[in-house]
């Protein structure tokens, strides 16, 4: 029996799809079987980030509507044998999927894979309920901005209301130069504001844009700065105790932020 993790946020555009593609790739690289489910019906993106858009024949809505089998709709990743994508429909809307049917579908995947990662839409639509209904835990993605944090706080409340009690925080798009100059909230502020466990800090990096445009998750390159960060998040997800000061040692801003974080703890 696998674990179902929903990747969610209050606001759109904070990096949920990027995070889903990369954590999925990193989990597969450490030997886990993983399926990435695109829960953002109508705004499907995950296939593009994985470079699999040309292989999409059937999708999640087709499975729900019994137009094809689940197996027919799953697309095997180009690089990892045990990594799969379940794309969603571009032309349907989120109300076309009933939460109960989604629950059945995800439970089937849970039987087959170690990890089911669900890329959720921003937290107010029907698609949100669909993405969360089968989740064992949630990764909440925020940007270091007040609006993002306030919306995340609301989403954490909604997750609790839906019975998802295990929440972990990913801070995406941090810029240590801006934190240093006092122009950006730092890690400590964000963690204390939201009060949930931190599992990853991802800097803003052009390499992410490049990898998105190429359809090659940056986590494929474990030796790159960002690739390493995703690998370490994956390690934490499987229960390894990876300390936050293992990487980014050459980045003083980062080390300062981490020191503060532990001072806070």
Based on CB atoms, which residue is closest to Mg ion, 41 or 45?
45
Q: Binder to ligand ADP among 5, 6, 10, 15 (CB under 6 A)?
A: 15
Taking the C-alpha atoms of residue 30 and residue 26, their distance in angstroms, rounded to an integer, is 7
Taking the C-alpha atoms of residue 44 and residue 90, their distance in angstroms, rounded to an integer, is 6
> Is residue 13 at the binding interface for ligand ADP, with CB under 6 A as the rule?
yes
> Is residue 172 at the binding interface for ligand ADP, with CB under 6 A as the rule?
yes
DSSP 251: -
Q: Of 203, 156, 208, 151, nearest to 6 (Cα)? A: 156
Q: Where are the beta strands (DSSP E) in 196-264?
A: 197-203
Shortest CB 75 distance to Mg ion, Å? 18
Tally DSSP H helices, then E strands, for the chain: 12, 8
Q: Binder to ligand ADP among 136, 153, 205, 251 (CB under 6 A)?
A: 205
Q: Which two tokens stand for residue 41?
A: 């019906």
Binding to Mg ion in span 4-63, by CB under 5 A: 16-17, 45
Q: Binder to ligand ADP among 4, 5, 10, 17 (CB under 6 A)?
A: 17
> Is residue 120 at the binding interface for Mg ion, with CB under 5 A as the rule?
no
Q: Is 221 exposed, middle or buried (0-12, 13-18, 19+ CB in 10 A)?
A: middle
Shortest CB 232 distance to ligand ADP, Å? 15
Taking the C-alpha atoms of residue 42 and residue 51, their distance in angstroms, rounded to an integer, is 18
Shortest CB 16 distance to Mg ion, Å? 5
> Is residue 45 at the binding interface for ligand ADP, with CB under 6 A as the rule?
yes
Residues that bind ligand ADP (CB under 6 A): 9, 12-18, 45, 172-173, 202, 204-205, 208-209, 212
Residues that bind Mg ion (CB under 5 A): 16-17, 45
């Amino acid at each position: 029996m696998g674990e179902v993790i929903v990747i969610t946020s209050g606001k759109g555009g904070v990096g949920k799809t990027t995070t889903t593609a990369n954590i999925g790739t990193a989990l597969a690289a450490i030997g886990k079987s993983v399926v990435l489910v695109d829960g953002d019906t109508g705004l499907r993106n995950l296939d593009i980030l994985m470079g699999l858009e040309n292989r999409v024949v059937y999708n999640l809505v087709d499975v729900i509507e019994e137009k094809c089998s689940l197996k027919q709709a799953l697309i095997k990743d180009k690089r990892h044998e045990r990594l799969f994508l379940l794309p969603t429909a571009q032309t349907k809307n989120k109300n076309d999927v009933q939460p109960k049917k989604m629950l059945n579908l995800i439970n089937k995947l849970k039987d087959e894979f170690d990890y089911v990662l669900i890329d959720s839409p921003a937290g107010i639509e029907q698609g949100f309920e669909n993405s969360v209904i089968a989740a064992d835990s949630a990764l909440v993605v925020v940007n270091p901005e007040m609006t993002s944090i306030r919306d995340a706080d609301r989403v954490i409340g909604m997750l609790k209301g839906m019975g998802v009690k295990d929440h972990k925080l990913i801070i995406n798009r941090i810029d240590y130069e801006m934190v240093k100059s006092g122009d950006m909230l730092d890690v400590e502020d964000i963690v204390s504001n939201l009060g949930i466990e931190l599992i990853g800090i991802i800097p803003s990096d052009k390499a992410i844009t490049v990898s998105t445009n190429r359809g090659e998750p940056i986590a494929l390159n474990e030796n790159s700065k960002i690739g390493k960060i995703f690998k370490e998040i994956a390690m934490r997800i499987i229960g390894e105790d990876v300390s936050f000061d293992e990487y980014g040692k050459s980045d003083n801003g980062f080390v300062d932020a981490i020191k503060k974080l532990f001072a806070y703890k």
